[in-house]
Structure 1
Amino acid sequence: MDEERFNMALRKFLKEVGVTSQREIEKVVRDGKTDGQVLRVKMTLTSPDAPLDHVVEGAIPIA
């Protein structure tokens, strides 16, 4: 395995996830489709090619 190539591909994927996720969160908040002062979020990372099931949960203050 080429570590440098793998690392670059992984970073590219994570950047895409981060940028697109931020856009979706901003859109739902901007459109007023949230309830309350905090937006609870959950991100699940899975792979059909490996035993990968990673969950990250958090809360984003919106007020």
Structure 2
Amino acid sequence: MDEEELNISVRKFLKMVGVSSQREIEHAVARAVQEGAIAGTETFPARMKLEIPGLRLEAAFDGEIRLEATGGAP
């Protein structure tokens, strides 16, 4: 196994997922605000699921998407 190639490919994958996910979330928020479905002040629970069937890997990551600052540090 080539550790360097593994590291590079994992980083590329995570960068693609991060950039694409951010874009999708931003578009969904803008659309919901424009349609009047949300006020733009909400906080939404979020879950990301990672699956790599060939490695029998399933992992879920929970967090939240805040549309306004809550007064503390980001």
What is the TM-score with the length of structure 2 in the denominator? 0.76
The CA RMSD over aligned residues, in Å, is 1.6
Q: Which runs of 5+ in 2 are unaligned?
A: 69-74
| Bigger strand fraction | 1
Note if 1:11 corresponds to 2:11.
yes
Aligned residues: 63
Structure 1 residue ranges, 4+ long, deviating more than 2 angstroms after superposition: 33-36
Q: Which runs of 5+ in 1 are unaligned?
A: none
The correspondence of residues 3-42 of structure 1 with structure 2, limited to 5 A, is 3-32=3-32, 35=38, 37-42=42-47
Which residue of 55, 59, 64 corresponds with 1:54?
A: 59
Deviation at 1:57, TM superposition (A): 0.9
Identity across the alignment (%): 41
Deviation at 1:60, TM superposition (A): 1.3
SS, match of residue 54 in structure 2: coil
Higher relative contact order (CA 8 A, sep 6+): 1
| Bigger helix fraction | 2
